[in-house]
Structure formats: structure tokens, C-alpha cells
Amino acid sequence: MSTAAIVMMSLAILLVWGGLAVSAVHLLRHPDDSSGDLAIEDELAPAVWEREDGRLDARHR
């Protein structure tokens, strides 16, 4: 492989793995509380609230 190809491959690898690392750190610092099961037995978790039209929505932070 040429030098240019190796440099481009290295940049692509750094971009992908760097993005994965940054997103993992962000998710650790700001956990996604609104995913998963929101119902606790027959009641709703605090992350769910009722809209004026009666439908239930998850609160976005």
C-alpha cells in the first residue's frame, strides 16, 4: 500500500473509533433514562408524563 492509502486508512480508523469513544464517554456522563421499560408494575415511572390530550409521552432532557 502507498503512504497516502495508509494515512487515509489511519484517519478513517481514528474517526470511527474516536467517535465511538466520545459517544461512550458522553453516554456515561449523561445516561439515557428514557429508554427501556418505563412502566413499574401498574404505575408509570417519573420519566413519563401525561399530555393535555391524554396521551403519554417520555420527557426529553
State the pLDDT at residue 3: 97
Check if the beta carbon of residue 38 is closer than 8 Å to that of residue 48: yes
Q: Which of 24, 30, 28, 35 is nearest to 59 (CA)?
A: 35
Higher-scoring residue by pLDDT: 58, 20: 20
- Indicate whether this model's pTM tops 0.95: no
Q: In whole angstroms, what is the distance from residue 59 CA to residue 54 CA?
A: 15
Domain map (residue ranges) of the chain: 1-30, 33-61
Predicted confidence (pLDDT) per residue in 4-45, tens digit: 999 999 999 999 999 999 999 998 888 766 555 555 555 555
pLDDT score of 58 more than 50: yes
Q: What is the DSSP letter of 36?
A: S
61: pLDDT confidence band, cut at 50, 70 and 90?
Answer: very low
Q: From the centroid of its chain, how far is CA 8?
A: 28
